[in-house]
């Protein structure tokens, strides 16, 4: 060691041994540890607050496909925690989900084969049976006031919405019939154009929007108090509904096209603004392919792999080998987005239209294994509320998103119907 180096080392030793330096070092170390601890404590407190609000507010979900799940899988006791599916009483209670709209989903194939009304009736009966079998846990709800009373009694309220207007079967009297049966919104169409309007998934453009009969259906829905649901409809059909409906409408399970350019199933910025002008609400779909372009691209790529495998092996779509291969592809190439991405959609609607025009429309049990990390089932609702709190949403804001916005629309439809009787 040179003399110069020795001097530098000696100075360094003196600094290290200086009491003031040692004191500052200890203070800095304590401050850093305290700051990390404080940050962790703050996160925990925010999560505690999210859990508290999830139980305090009446969380309403615009679209859960439980009836079709039961239709496909046979009897399943949803009063206990289930191994399969997304929804059951236990997980709903854990996450604070109080008012899940049961989707009476009737596939477009019934428009060809017939029997759409009978299928809808059978699914409505399933929901009623679920309530009858477990009267201490579930009860069918017919109005916001009714739902509120059911929740106050400690039960989960089960209002119903019909996904696809095909069960109307060309008979306007069936609109009132389904209202009597408990249907409180109707998604005008589904995957294919029907007698009412064109679908966002169908490029045929049968009616260039609403049919003449569809115009009558919207008017009749207004008259009897059934909310018009514009999820799944074509852009033309949406704007035509906005022009003629006398009351606010909903999009029960749609997201923002801003994040998935070209995906007509989601709503464009202009459509969201127009829905807000109508007084309506878009209820955000949680399915990953609805939420991010990356997830949608991955899902498309996975589908192409499955189709190629089927073609190479000359297999039909319902072949068990295809099902197993598809599961493996999905496992190897997960498409999941994150709960924060869903929060981005809520932010976007609020920026475009205001806090009064957004809600939840998860599509639980309807989008398969595509749900985001942190929103896999209803027990995860507090995770979404946590991220809203983290982004500066007030309790009042969150209460509106949880239920007040969509209940305002529901009540407006009820009040208009009463004024027509």
pTM of the complete model: 0.90
- The first and second tokens of residue 37, run together, are 């601890």
pLDDT score at 29: 58
Give mean pLDDT, residues 392-404.
98
**Closest C-alpha among 211, 179, 177, 173 to residue 194:** 211
Buried b (16+ CB within 10 A) or exposed e, 241-276: bbeebebbbbbbbbbbbbbbeebbbbbbeebbbbbb
pLDDT at 32 over 60: no
Q: What is the pLDDT of residues 80-123, one digit of tens each?
A: 999 999 999 999 999 999 999 999 999 999 999 999 999 999 99
DSSP string, 210-278: B-HHHHHHHHHHHHHTPEEE-TTB-HHHHHHHHHH-SS--EEEEE-BGGGSTT-TTSBPHHHHHHHHHT
Confidence of residue 19 (pLDDT cuts 50, 70, 90): low
pLDDT score at 317: 84
Confidence of residue 18 (pLDDT cuts 50, 70, 90): low
For residues 306 and 323, is the Cβ–Cβ distance under 8 A? Answer: no
Please provide the average confidence, as pLDDT, over all residues in the chain.
93
Tokens 């304590």 correspond to: 30
pLDDT at 33 over 90: no
Q: What is the pLDDT of residues 265-279, one digit of tens each?
A: 999 999 999 999 999
- The neighbouring-strand residues paired with 227 are 185
pLDDT score at 40: 63
pLDDT at 421 over 80: yes
Q: Please give the Cα distance from 340 to 372 (Å, whole number).
A: 9
Q: What is the pLDDT of residues 196-222, one digit of tens each?
A: 999 999 999 999 999 999 999 999 999
User: How many other C-beta atoms lie within 10 A of the C-beta of residue 3?
Assistant: 7
pLDDT at 1 over 60: no
pLDDT score at 170: 97
Confidence of residue 324 (pLDDT cuts 50, 70, 90): very high
Confidence of residue 308 (pLDDT cuts 50, 70, 90): very high
Task: Please name the fold of domain 57-292+337-420.
Answer: TIM Barrel (3.20.20)
For residues 283 and 249, is the Cβ–Cβ distance under 8 A? Answer: no
Buried b (16+ CB within 10 A) or exposed e, 341-372: bbbbbbbbbbebbebbbbbbbbbbbbbeebbb
Confidence of residue 3 (pLDDT cuts 50, 70, 90): very low
pLDDT at 41 over 90: no
Confidence of residue 236 (pLDDT cuts 50, 70, 90): very high
pLDDT score at 318: 84
**Closest C-alpha among 145, 184, 400 to residue 283:** 400
CA-to-CA separations, 160 to 102, 185, 210, in angstroms, rounded:
5, 7, 24
Q: Please give the Cα distance from 139 to 244 (Å, whole number).
A: 34
Confidence of residue 68 (pLDDT cuts 50, 70, 90): very high
pLDDT at 9 over 50: no
Three-state SS sequence of 146-181: HHHHHHHCCCEEECEEEECCHHHCCCCHHHHHHHHC
- Give the H/E segment covering residue 98: strand 97-105
As a whole number of Å, the CA-based R_g of the chain is 26
For the chain, the domains span 57-292+337-420
pLDDT score at 13: 53
Phi and psi, residue 99, nearest 5°: -135, 80
User: How many other C-beta atoms lie within 10 A of the C-beta of residue 202?
Assistant: 18
pLDDT score at 38: 54
CA atoms within 13 A on the CB side of 389: 21
Which of the pair, 75 or 383, is modelled with greater confidence? 383
* 203-211: long-range contacts, CB 8 A cutoff, minimum separation 24: 205/234, 205/236, 207/237, 208/236, 209/234, 209/236, 209/237, 209/239, 209/240, 210/236, 210/237, 210/240, 210/241, 210/244
pLDDT above 90: percentage of residues in the chain: 88
**Closest C-alpha among 32, 9, 16, 61 to residue 363:** 61
Confidence of residue 30 (pLDDT cuts 50, 70, 90): low
**Closest C-alpha among 131, 64, 125, 127 to residue 91:** 64
For the chain, the residue count is: 421
Confidence of residue 12 (pLDDT cuts 50, 70, 90): very low
pLDDT score at 298: 96
Q: Please give the Cα distance from 167 to 174 (Å, whole number).
A: 8
pLDDT at 2 over 90: no
- The neighbouring-strand residues paired with 105 are 163
Q: Please give the Cα distance from 272 to 400 (Å, whole number).
A: 17
Which of the pair, 5 or 413, is modelled with greater confidence? 413
Furthest C-alpha separation in the chain: 104
Q: What is the pLDDT of residues 130-143, one digit of tens each?
A: 999 999 999 999 99
**Helix, strand, coil fractions of the chain, as percent rounded to 5:** 55, 15, 30
């Amino acid at each position: 060691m040179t003399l110069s180096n020795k001097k530098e080392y000696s100075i360094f030793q003196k600094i290290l041994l200086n009491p003031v330096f040692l004191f500052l070092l200890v203070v800095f170390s304590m401050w850093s540890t305290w700051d990390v601890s404080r940050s962790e404590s703050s996160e925990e407190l925010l999560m505690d607050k999210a859990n508290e609000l999830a139980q305090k507010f009446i969380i309403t979900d615009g679209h859960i496909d439980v009836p079709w799940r039961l239709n496909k899988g046979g009897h399943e006791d949803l009063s206990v925690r289930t191994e399969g599916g997304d929804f059951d009483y236990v997980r709903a209670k854990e996450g604070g989900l109080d008012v899940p709209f049961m989707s009476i989903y009737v596939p477009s194939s019934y428009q060809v084969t017939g029997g759409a009304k009978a299928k809808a009736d059978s699914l409505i009966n399933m929901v009623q049976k679920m309530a009858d079998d477990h009267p201490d846990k579930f009860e069918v709800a017919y109005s916001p006031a009714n739902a509120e009373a059911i929740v106050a009694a400690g039960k989960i309220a089960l209002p119903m919405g019909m996904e696809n207007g095909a069960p109307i079967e060309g008979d306007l009297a069936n609109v009132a019939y389904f209202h009597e049966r408990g249907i409180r919104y109707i998604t005008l169409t589904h995957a294919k154009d029907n007698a009412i309007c064109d679908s966002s998934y169908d490029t045929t453009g049968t009616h260039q929007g609403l049919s003449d009969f569809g115009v009558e259906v919207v008017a009749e829905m207004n008259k009897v108090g059934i909310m018009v649901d514009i999820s799944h409809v074509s852009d033309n059909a949406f704007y035509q509904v906005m022009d003629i409906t006398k009351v606010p409408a909903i999009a029960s399970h749609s997201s923002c096209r801003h994040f998935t350019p070209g995906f007509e199933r989601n709503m464009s910025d202009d459509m969201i603004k127009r829905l807000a002008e109508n007084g309506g609400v878009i209820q955000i779909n949680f399915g990953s392919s609805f939420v991010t372009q990356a997830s949608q691209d991955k899902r498309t790529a996975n589908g192409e792999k499955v189709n190629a495998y089927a073609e190479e092996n000359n297999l039909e779509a319902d072949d068990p080998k295809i099902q197993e291969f598809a599961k493996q592809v999905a496992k190897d190439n997960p498409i999941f987005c994150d709960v924060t991405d869903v929060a981005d959609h809520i932010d976007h609607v609020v920026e475009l239209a205001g806090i009064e025009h957004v809600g939840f429309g998860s599509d639980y049990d309807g989008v398969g294994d595509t749900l985001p990390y942190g929103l896999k089932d209803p027990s995860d609702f507090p995770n979404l509320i946590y991220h809203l709190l983290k982004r500066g949403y007030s309790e009042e804001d969150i209460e509106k998103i949880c239920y007040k916005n969509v209940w305002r629309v529901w009540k407006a439809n009820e009040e208009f119907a009463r004024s027509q009787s």
